[in-house]
Amino acid sequence: MTHSTVSTPLESRSSGPLTGKVRVPGDKSISHRALILGALSVGETRISGLLEGEDVLNTAKSMQALGAKVERTGPFAWSVRGVGVAGFAQPASPLDFGNSGTGCRLVMGAVAGCPITAVFDGDASLRTRPMRRILDPLELMGAKTGEAKEGGRLPLTLHGARDPLPILYRTPVASAQIKSAVLLAGLAAPGVTTVIEQEASRDHTELMLKHFGSQIVSTQEGSHGRRIALTGQPELHGADVVVPADPSSASFPIVAALIVEGSDVVFTDVMTNPLRTGLFTTLREMGASIEESEVRGDAGEPMAQLRVRASKLRGVEVPPERAPSMIDEYLVLAVAAAFAEGTTIMRGLQELRVKESDRLEATADMLRVNGVRVEVSGDDLIVEGRGHVPGGGIVATHMDHRIAMSALVMGLASDKPVKVDDTAFIATSFPDFIPMMRSLGAEFS
C-alpha cells in the first residue's frame, strides 16, 4: 500500500442527532476469504458486495500474482477464476499486503500447501506484527521459512511444501487467522487436518469452505472451544458469494448513534454471525437500544437490519471469553464506556497488543488525552464513565484505522472537538467512513 507521507488530520465536533438508513461496506473477513477460496477453486466465483478497501484489494492483487484471474465486473462486484487447490503459480515479485494481517496470514497458509516460493511484505505496521504464530504450524506441515526478520517478521520468504502433511494443531491463542492459515494449507494435504481452539474464533473460513464444496466438520470442544476437521484435497468449485455488511465497520456509526443525543439510525444487511457480535451483546447489557429485524442468511452467514437509538449507557464488566467475538471492537466500546455512567472493565485483552498498533495502550492514550480516566491493569482495560467526555485532545493514529474511527466517533458527542493526526488508514477497511458519517449528520472539519 502506498500511503502519501503527508498525513491527513481531521477534527470531529459535537453534532446534531444522527439520522438515516445506511449499509456499511462488505465484511472484511468474508471479502478476503471469498477472493482466496475463489482463487483455490476450479471455475468462476462471483462475489457481490466485496469490501473495496485497501486491505482486500491487496489480497485481490496477490491472488492475481499467484495465477488466478481476478476482475472487477461492477461496483463491489468481482469475478475470480481460480487455479484449483495447490495450483498457485510462483509469483514474479514480492506480495505486498499493506496494512493487512488477515490477507497476509491467510495467503501464507494457502501458499504453504503449494510447491512455490513467495516473499511476503507489508507496511511499517504489518512489519511489526508476529508471524511466528502462523509459521510454526505451517512448518509442521512441511513449509519452510527462508529469510525473515527477527522473530519471523516481514519481509519474509516462505517455501511451500511439495507434499504437505495433515496435522492436528491446537492454536495457542484464539485467532481465526491462525486457524484459517492451517485449514487453507490443509486443503492441499492428503487426509484430515484438525484445528482445536480453546475459545471459538470467527468461523467464516469453515462456513465458506463448506460453501465451496469441501468436507469440514466442526464440533464443540470444552465449554467455549471448537474442533474443526477438514478433509484435504477436495475439488473446490467456484461459487457465488454475497458479502453482508461488516459488523466491525458498523460498530463505529452504531456507537456514534448511541452517544449523540436524539439519534436514530438504521443499518441494513449487518452480518450477525454470533462469533462476531460480542459488541452488540455488551452494548445491550449497557442499556443500548439496538433492535433487530429482517433476519435472514446466505451461505451460512446470518444478517439482519439494526435500528439504533441514542441511549443512556451504564458501565459493565466484559468477560475475557467474549474477547474473540469482539476483538476489533474494544476501541469503540471504550468510547461508549467513556460516555456511560459508571466503570466498565474489559478483561483479557492481551491480543489487542499485536494488532495494527498496541491497541490496549493506544485506547488508553486516546481516552486520556480527552480527559477520560482510564487504567490498563495487566491485560485489562478499565474506563471510568462519567456520562460525558471533555474532549479537546489530539489522538495519535499509529497507522491504525480503528483508532482513527473511534476517536472521530468520540468527538461527535464530546464537550470540545477531538482531533486525529491521520485519517489515511481508514481506507484499509471503511473507505467511505467520512462521507457516510457526514450523510448521517456528523460534523468533521
Ligand X SMILES: C=C(OP(=O)(O)O)C(=O)O
Ligand Y SMILES: O=C(O)C1=C[C@@H](OP(=O)(O)O)[C@@H](O)[C@H](O)C1
175 is in an annotated binding site: yes
Please provide residue 221's backbone torsions phi and psi, each rounded to the nearest 5 degrees.
-135, 115
145 binds, among ligand X, ligand Y, none (CB under 5 to 8 A by kind): none
Spatial neighbors of 254 by CB under 8 A, at least 6 apart, are 265, 267, 279, 283, 290, 306, 308
Asked if 397 touches ligand X (CB under 6 A), the answer is no
133 binds, among ligand X, ligand Y, none (CB under 5 to 8 A by kind): none
402 is in an annotated binding site: yes
CA torsion sign, 304 to 310 to 311 to 314?
positive
| Rounded Cα–Cα distance for residues 160 and 431 (Å) | 34
**Site residues, ligand Y (CB under 6 A):** 29, 102, 175-177, 180, 202, 327-328, 351
Assign residue 386 a region (left: φ > 0; alpha: ψ between -120 and 50; beta: otherwise): alpha
163 is in an annotated binding site: no
Find the binder of ligand X among 269, 356, 365, 422 (CB under 6 A): 356
Q: Which stretch binds ligand X (CB under 6 A): 63-71, 94-102, 158-166, 224-232?
A: 94-102
Mark residues 51-90: x for contact with ligand X by CB under 6 A, - for none. ----x-----------------------------------
> 7-23: b or e for each residue (b if 16 or more CB lie within 10 Å)?
eeebbbbbbeebeeebb
Q: Indicate the residue among 102 and 305 with the shorter CB distance to ligand X.
A: 102
Q: Please answer whether residues 357 and 127 qualify as being in contact, where contact means their C-beta atoms are separated by less than 8 angstroms.
A: no
What separation in angstroms does the CA of 202 have from each of 22, 129, 318, 416? 24, 20, 18, 37
Q: Indicate the residue among 3 and 202 with the shorter CB distance to ligand Y.
A: 202
127 is in an annotated binding site: no
31 binds, among ligand Y, ligand X, none (CB under 5 to 8 A by kind): none
**Which residue among the candidates 27, 123, 203, 328 is catalytic per the annotation?**
328
Asked if 325 touches ligand X (CB under 6 A), the answer is no
Residues 400-419 that bind ligand X (CB under 6 A): 402
Q: Determine the residue with CB nearest ligand X.
A: 101
Q: Indicate the residue among 85 and 426 with the shorter CB distance to ligand X.
A: 426
Q: Provide the grid cell at 395.
A: 489522538
| Rounded Cα–Cα distance for residues 70 and 79 (Å) | 6
176 binds, among ligand Y, ligand X, none (CB under 5 to 8 A by kind): ligand Y
Q: Please answer whether residues 33 and 409 qualify as being in contact, where contact means their C-beta atoms are separated by less than 8 angstroms.
A: no
Answer yes or no: 121 catalytic. no
| Rounded Cα–Cα distance for residues 288 and 263 (Å) | 12
Residue type, 375: E
101 is in an annotated binding site: yes
Binding residues for phosphoenolpyruvate: 28, 101, 129, 177, 359, 402
Q: So which residues are the catalytic ones? A: 328
Positions that interact with ligand X (CB under 6 A): 55, 100-102, 328, 355-356, 402, 429
